[in-house]
Chain A
Amino acid sequence: MARRKLEEINAGSMADIAFLLLIFFLVTTTMESNYGIRRKLPPITPPDNTDQPVIKKRNVLEININGRDQMLIEGNLAKDSEVKDITEKFITNNGKDPKSSDNPQKAVIQIKHTRETTYKKYISVYNELLAAYNELRDKYAKKKFGKAFDDLNEKQQKEVKDYYPQKIAESVPK
C-alpha cells in the first residue's frame, strides 16, 4: 500500500497573522518614559508652630523667577547655564565670602516663583540645582571613599549626604 505523501502546510498566511498581532501591539501600547526628578515635599506644619529656625541671611541663596521666566539669583540676573556654578560656589564657600554661606551644612537654597512661571523653567532650575549637589556629593565621595556616590554603601552615602544636605526651600506663590 503506497502511503500518500504528506503535504506541507501552507505557511503563507503566517506573516499576516503576525502582522495583525504586531499592529495590535503597536496600537495598544506606548513607549512610556518613566524617568523623572524625584522630590520629597515638606510635610505641612501645624499653624500654631511658630518656633521656626532662624537662618542667617548669608546662608540663603535666593532664587527669584518672575512670570516671564526671568531669573534673579541674589538680585543678579542669571541664565540657566549659570545656576550650577553659582550654586556650587555658594555651597562650598565655607565662610570665605562674608555674603555667602558659612558651610555646606547650613546652606539653604530658596526658590521663589510666581504662578505664571512656566513649568519648564522651574524644572530647568531645579535640575541645575540637583546637578550642583550631585556633583559636589560625587566629588566628596571620590575624595573620601575613592568611589562614585552611587557605588557607596548606605552608611557611606548617608555620611556624604550629611556633609552636603540638600536644603531646597520653595515658597508658595500667592
Chain B
Amino acid sequence: MGKFSKKKDGGTPAISTASLPDIVFMLLFFFMVATVMRDNSMKVGIKLPSADQIKKIEKKGLVSFVYVGKPIPQYQAKFGKEPRIQINDAFADAKDVGPAFLAFKATKRQEEKPLLITSIKADKDVGMGIITDIKEELRKVNALKVNYSTNKGGVEKNQ
C-alpha cells in the first residue's frame, strides 16, 4: 500500500508538446508542395474516367479547361439535371467554347500561342454528343490540341 500511494502522489509528468508545431509545420509544407490553388469553383460534378495511356500536363499556364458534368444539387433547380458545360466560373453552351478559347489565347504571348492545350474535364457518364459539340467548336477556332482529362488507372475501372 505504501508503494502504491507513493506513486500516486508523484503524478505522471505532462507529455511535452514542444514538437507539436514541428509536426504541424511538416504537414503544412507537405500540403503546400503537393497541392495547387483552387482556381475555379466547380458548378458541375465531375468523376473523371480512368485511363493508362496518359501524359502529364507540364505547363499548367498554357491549359484552358472546359468542364462537363451534371450541375451540382444547388444549381439543379435552375439548370436541370442534364449535363452542362462550365467554362471558368459560369455555365456555358457549346457555342461559347470557341470564343472562350480565343479570349484565353489573347492573353498569351505570341510564342506561347501554338502550344495552348484545351483540357476537357468531363464526367465519365456524360454522353458523347456534348463532347462532340465541344470538339467541333474547338476545331472551328483552330484549337486542335486537346487533352481528355482522366485519372490514372486501368480502363476496367470505368465499368
Contacts and interface: CB of A to CB of B under 8 A. Distances in A.
Interface string A101-117: 00000000000011111
B88 interface: no
Contacts of A31: 34-35
Nearest to A131: B53
Interface residues of B, number: 58
Interface in A101-140: 113-124, 126-128, 130-131, 134
A33 interface: yes
Size bracket of the A interface: 35 or more
Contacts of A6: none
Contacts of A33: 48, 149, 151-152
Contacts of B28: 18, 21-22, 25
B24 A116 contact: no
B125 interface: yes
Given A14-B21, A22-B31, A34-B57, A41 B126 contact: no
A130 B57 CA distance: 18
A171 to B, nearest CB: 10
Nearest to A172: B132
Interface of A: 11-12, 14-15, 17-19, 21-22, 25-26, 28-44, 80-81, 113-124, 126-128, 130-131, 134, 172-173
Interface string B12-44: 000001101100110110011011111000000
Interface string B32-69: 10111110000000001101111111001001000010
A11 to B, nearest CB: 7
B18 A11 contact: yes
B138 interface: yes
